[in-house]
Every structure is written in structure tokens, then in C-alpha cells.
Amino acid sequence: MKLTIKFRLMEVKDIDQVVKIEEKSFTTPWSTEAFQNELTNNQFSTYIVMEEGENIIGYCGTWIVIDEAHVTNIALLPDYRGKGLGELLLRNVMDVLRKLGAASMTLEVRVSNHIAQSLYQKLGFKPGGIRKNYYSDNNEDALVMWVNL
């Protein structure tokens, strides 16, 4: 089965679908209000959704401050994982951020999440440090990773 994938900027009308992805992806998902605030009040935020047909199957949120982009969250619906779509999404986001003037990009990833770390390394991210007790659900450390765009 061939997927027809499209990317676009996230809109307020997308929040319900994105929150469903959040809830299926994270132990402490962001709320509807958090996404509402990101899209309507945060001048630094850029959110990209990945669509298959009419459905949002993934998204990535970033903040751009001066020339530095920070990934706030990235997720795919569980049924779409392991198919190369996370890489496709992140490559698209990196292209958008370059066009918006970002020179580098950073993110945090759980030290136990070797699958995500492998993807990030494939795209050129390098470890840059550890944030101790970063994740509030279990106090797991976060690996901070960086890439030049």
C-alpha cells in the first residue's frame, strides 16, 4: 500500500487530532490548551503536521529563537511508526527551519529511547549533554542532541 503524504503548517483546527497523537505517544501528553497557546500566543513556534489523506498521522513542534531551533515535541501515530515516516517528517521540518533562518537545531530525547536517538544520529544530530531528571513522569535523564542546519 502506497501512502500519500503531505506536510503543512499546523492550524488551530488540527489541535484535536494532534492531541490524540500526543495521548498515544507520551505518558505526560500536552493538553489542548497548551497547543492552543503555542499556535495563537507563541511568536517563536512553528508546528508542522504530516497528513495521509485527510488524517493527521504525525506532527513536530519547534521554537525558533534568533537562529536556533528547539524541537518541543515530535510524534507519529503508533500504526505509522517503523516505516521511515519519522525520518521523512523530521527532514521536512529541518528544511522548513532552514528556510526560516535557523542555523542549528536541538532536542531532548530520553536516554532509554535508542530508536529515536538512532534516527537523530542518522540525520546528523550529535550528543551535547545530559539534562538530569528531565522527564517528570519517571525522572529519567534526557540526552540533549544538536545538529547544524
| Catalytically active residues, by annotation | 108, 120
From CA 7, how far away is CA 46, in angstroms rounded?
13
Query: Is the Cβ–Cβ distance between 129 and 144 less than 8 Å?
Result: yes
- What counts of helices (H) and strands (E) characterise the chain? 4, 7
The angle, 0 to 180 degrees and rounded to 10, between the axes of the packed helices 114-122 and 85-99 is 50
Give the gyration radius of the chain's Cα atoms. 15
Residue with cell 544520529: 121
* Sheet-wide strand order for 68-76: 5-9, 45-52, 55-65, 68-76, 104-110, 142-148, 126-131
Which grid cell sits at 41? 500566543
